[in-house]
Chain A
């Protein structure tokens, strides 16, 4: 039901157009090799996919399994939601928290205390989601 065995003109036409764009991008990266360093760029591209597929995704799968086993049914949805939101925010904020980009002699770069701010946002997420779950639990059915 999921895999479409019926591969018609739409599949092959868009594959041809898509691969034309892909090859245009590859050609550009190769032609500007002084800037793009194709070898290192290719390692980043493949490495990113592998790190996601072999590390991030399995960790997420195991975390999901752990939540399903450990958290009681009533709280499970709230814990899943809070964990997913927290992880997303933390991943995006990670380089700020680590302060990699803080430039010497530039007081306007990374002006906030990002570790503290991330903790604030994540705490708010957990308080709100758990409060919603608690209210839902208290409400008579």
Chain B
């Protein structure tokens, strides 16, 4: 057998950008516009869901005064962030499948024929790079794996805009083709070589079912980290809600000494008539609030639990804070981006926003924020500041 010439190998491996996806060396009958569209549509919807819920989470963590997030419903953030992470996980198989179907376009020769091709291909590079980055960094973050030095939240947020812009440009470029592909009656007569190849491997429907099964299986084995009914199935989830999980232990936060010291005080300061300085015993005496509220981590796990403690509203009233004030909550923890959080006017005035002293009817543990931690309705876990020592009224 003669060795194939470099020219014939190149011919086999590369593709013509104006020909169908299935061409030359790429013989799978699965490669066509119809399957690309069938994969692209749900992938686009999942990305959009991730984007909207992600921007909502960003508004919690980077508050803007003209758009204060609501405190109610209390479980709203739990739902939006649970959906964000579940949709992101479910999109992984779809993204990989979609890239597999359209891969022959990556090796197009010539890469461009018209000005529009240049615009489209640079957009597709942004789409592929952004899509892979968003799913990879999200999956890594929920496992708390950080093989990079940049901030996860900041880069995940800004690359989301890049990715969604690329999705929008791609939608415009493929709208007509996708509509045509999705509308085409599915019962076209099979081609001769479809029979030969298709009879042996997965059909288009089988392939879509396989990808749906992969997404479904990933969802089934992780979503129990937030959906109580699925907890026992969540064997690939990074947290078990039954453990009452935490992300930062008292030891790792370096607060054990300050939190257990008899010198511990909570102060209420800032824009108030009567600044307060309270001991733990004072706080326990004031602890008349009780609420069942979720801890909902941005990483997608959550659990609802009964808490008791001091109503922030009562402390503000005692200190003579103005109505509708927002409050900065400060922790004993130093050197953490989550050392402080903001209670906007809706959250600070809510009857269930507590400086909690008990969880599940037991005194708060050090890891859960002893002596007092913030717990408020509708807030992400990173904003439920632990080891609270100061409220600054703004």
Contact = CB atoms under 8 A, between A and B. Distances in A.
Q: Say whether A associates with B.
A: yes
B10 interface: no
B251 A105 contact: yes
Given A11-B173, A14-B171, A36 B19 contact: no
Given A57-B106, A77-B200, A44 B133 contact: yes
Contacts of A120: 235
A91 interface: yes
Contact of B172 (A2, A18, A45, A101): A18
A1 B34 CA distance: 13
Interface in A40-93: 40-41, 44-46, 48-49, 52-53, 56-57, 60-61, 64, 68, 73-74, 76-77, 80-81, 84-85, 88-89, 91-93
A58 B163 CA distance: 24
A54 B238 CA distance: 30
A105 B243 CA distance: 14
B249 to A, nearest CB: 5
Nearest to A111: B240
B322 to A, nearest CB: 33
A20 B247 CA distance: 37
Most buried by B among A49, A81, A100, A125: A49
Interface residues of A, number: 78
A58 to B, nearest CB: 9
Contacts of B236: 89, 92-93, 96, 112, 114, 117-118, 121
Contacts, number: 254
B99 A25 contact: no
A100 to B, nearest CB: 4
B128 A49 contact: yes
B306 interface: no
Contacts of B133: 44-45, 48
Contacts of B200: 68, 73-74, 76-77
Contacts of A19: 123, 165, 169
A35 B151 contact: yes
B66 interface: no
Contacts of A95: 139-140, 143, 145
Interface string B245-287: 1111101100000000000000000000000000000000000
Interface string B199-216: 111110011011101110
Most buried by A among B158, B167, B173: B158
Contacts of B167: 18
Interface of B: 17-21, 28, 33, 89, 92-93, 96-97, 99-100, 103, 106, 114, 116, 119-120, 123, 125-126, 128-130, 132-133, 136-137, 139-140, 143-145, 147-151, 153-155, 157-173, 175-177, 199-203, 206-207, 209-211, 213-215, 217-218, 221, 235-240, 243-249, 251-252, 367
5 contacts: A15-B173, A36-B155, A77-B200, A95-B143, A109-B239
Task: Pick the 7 closest A-B CB pairs, nearest first.
Answer: A14-B172, A21-B165, A18-B169, A101-B144, A25-B161, A108-B245, A25-B162
